[in-house]
A and B are shown apart, each in its own frame.
Chain A
Amino acid sequence: MSLMALRERLNVLVNSMFLEGLLDQQFRQLQMLQDASSPGFVAEVITLFCEDSERMLTELTKLLDQAVVDYQKVDAYVHQLKGSSSSVGAQNVKLACIQFKQFCEENNKEGCLSALNMVKHQYYSLRSKFDTMLQLEQRIQAYDSEQQN
């Protein structure tokens, strides 16, 4: 696939993610911060976000698996996840976290479990597209490196 075709495919992918609500304008802000001196910035942020999110989702699953749920700890993790998803522009994940926090405040275990499932669903949908995005970015950068050499 040519460089132009790769870039086009990446643009189509990112635009579709905006249209589906997976991403919001904060992601555009991150893209604008990336430049020639930091060509991997967006990829680094996405990687950090995914690692951090999966860690938090694992902890949330464990906490909600307990007979007696510590809602304070659950809320703390949801707050963190809401924050990081907001920072990267992961809109649907952020919105799912807002709903989750509501159930935490109500100490509603069933609600929290349902909300956790929704957060996971939104996160993994996003993660799948992020994986494709990163693969395309890597191929584009490989092309750019070849052209510079």
Chain B
Amino acid sequence: MEEVKEEGEEMDVNDCGGGGLEVVRVLVVDDSPVDRKIVEMLLKRSEGIFDVVSVDSGKKAMEVLGLNEIEAKPPNHDDQKIDIVLTDYCMPEMTGLDLLKAVKANSSSRSIPVVMMSSENDSERISSCRAIGAEDFILKPLRVKDVQRLRTYTVPIGPMSKRGSKRKLPIALIAESNGAEARPLLAKVAAFGSAVFLTLNFWRSSVMSSSCN
């Protein structure tokens, strides 16, 4: 387990999370012992930012999240609280997709960000995960930069934002990720921006023309 740094304590230049930030508790779900070991080390090498709980199945993940009861209840102890779930997609019995659906279907866990991992760059798989509420979809094998950005899914962006609520990645980080799903997302952002611009201009034109008449 990584030590929690005190508020205001200086961070090493290699730190990615900035000084004084809370440790993020990550639930790693992967049936492969090799992949679990590697992901644990990647998280550990992120300079004390992550505290890791790892399990080898979706079923055990449900237990950790307190979702295995008929009436799901939030964990009782603070040390059980999970800030983000990082799950493999392909697992026997309960897949990562099943786990994602279960997390998002339950009011006590819905706000926990879920990030998918997979060795397959399957655009349909990626789209379906995002549609259900996955924050991101990372291709295996994972790199340091992949785990470093996990924190962005749990850090609030402002006073109105809740911890763990869904938020967009900065464009640079989106572009850094896999190209296949990045381009459609960038296109959507660009389209949204254009739509806002056009709407504002239309409104402005309408106001000006009515004031002239």
- Using a CB–CB cutoff of 8 Å, the interface residues on chain A facing chain B are 26, 29-30, 33, 35, 38, 41, 44-45, 48-49, 51-52, 76, 79-80, 82-84, 86-88
Residue-by-residue, is B23-63 near A (CB-CB < 8 Å gives 1, otherwise 0)?
Answer: 00000000111110110011011000000000000000000
Known: A83-B32, A83-B35. A29 touches B90 (CB 8 A): no
**B141 near A: Cβ within 8 Å?**
yes
Contacts A41-B41, A83-B35 aside, 20 further interface pairs with beta carbons under 8 A come to A29-B141, A33-B38, A33-B41, A33-B45, A35-B45, A38-B44, A45-B37, A48-B37, A52-B34, A79-B90, A82-B119, A83-B90, A83-B140, A84-B34, A86-B140, A86-B141, A87-B32, A87-B35, A87-B140, A87-B141
Task: Contact check, A26 vs B141: say whether CB atoms are below 8 A apart.
Answer: yes
Q: Chain A residues with Cβ under 8 A from B38's Cβ?
A: 30, 33, 45, 87
Q: Chain B residues with Cβ under 8 A from A48's Cβ?
A: 33-34, 37
Task: Contact check, A84 vs B32: say whether CB atoms are below 8 A apart.
Answer: yes
Interface size grouping (class) on chain B:
10 to 19
Q: Chain B residues with Cβ under 8 A from A30's Cβ?
A: 38
Q: What CA separation (Å) do A125 and B32 show in the bound complex? A: 22
Q: Chain A residues with Cβ under 8 A from B35's Cβ?
A: 83-84, 87
For A52, give its contact among B32, B41, B44, B119 (CB under 8 Å). Answer: B32
Q: What CA separation (Å) do A79 and B38 show in the bound complex? A: 18
Residue-by-residue, is B136-171 near A (CB-CB < 8 Å gives 1, otherwise 0)?
Answer: 000011010000000000000000000000000000
